Amino acid sequence: MTAAETKMQFLYTLRSKGVTDNRTLLAMEKIDRGAFVRGLFAERAYEDMPLPISCGQTISQPSVVGLMTQALNVQPRDKVLEVGTGSGYQAAILSQLARRVYTIDRFSRLVREAQEVFNTLGIANITSFSADGSHGLPEQAPFDRIIVTAAAEDPPGPLLAQLRVGGIMVVPVGQSDTVQSLIKVTRLEKGFDYEELRAVRFVPLLEGIGQE
């Protein structure tokens, strides 16, 4: 298959799995997933499946990345927090939609490797940190959008507190060894609105800094 055919097939698969928002599809067309997959799995970068990356983590399957991005409904002036940098693929897509993206991971190696890819791709509106993502990034709060790419038992309180009124958080919720639910949380003037989107599987959200 030529590169163009591969890309067409990739976008067709995304649409067939429910990613229909044009801005999301355009961002996913612009950001090459292949840039974020190394070694043995590079040739499978355009398949709709999660793939292993460093530190025992995974790069999520593209359709899930697309559905989470679509649910966030990122606007051009938004400031977005991502908890769980991983390969950097999700942050790179968000960078095409938002004014600024802050991304945190507990593994400094993942942050370093992701930052190298951002630099190579010329993406300048992502700030990456190695830190305990379960605490969010209070010094930069409030955020218009928050995305969590690891599963928590409940939407984490510190992250909810860093969401501005009218803001949206997308987070997988559930016990790590069973199927989890992807939840969309909207902060209201008083309280939060919760919407269940679909079943997913993510690595668990862990506290502390990861040992490489």
Query: CA quadruple 47, 74, 53, 152: dihedral positive or negative?
Result: negative
Which of these is catalytic: 16, 54, 60, 128?
60
Query: CA quadruple 193, 25, 74, 160: dihedral positive or negative?
Result: positive
**C-alpha neighbours within 13 Å on the C-beta side of residue 134:** 12
The length of the chain in residues reads 212
Angle at 9 between CA 5 and CA 14, to 5 degrees: 150
16 catalytic? Reply is no
Contact 174, 158 (CB under 8 A): no
Catalytic residues: 60
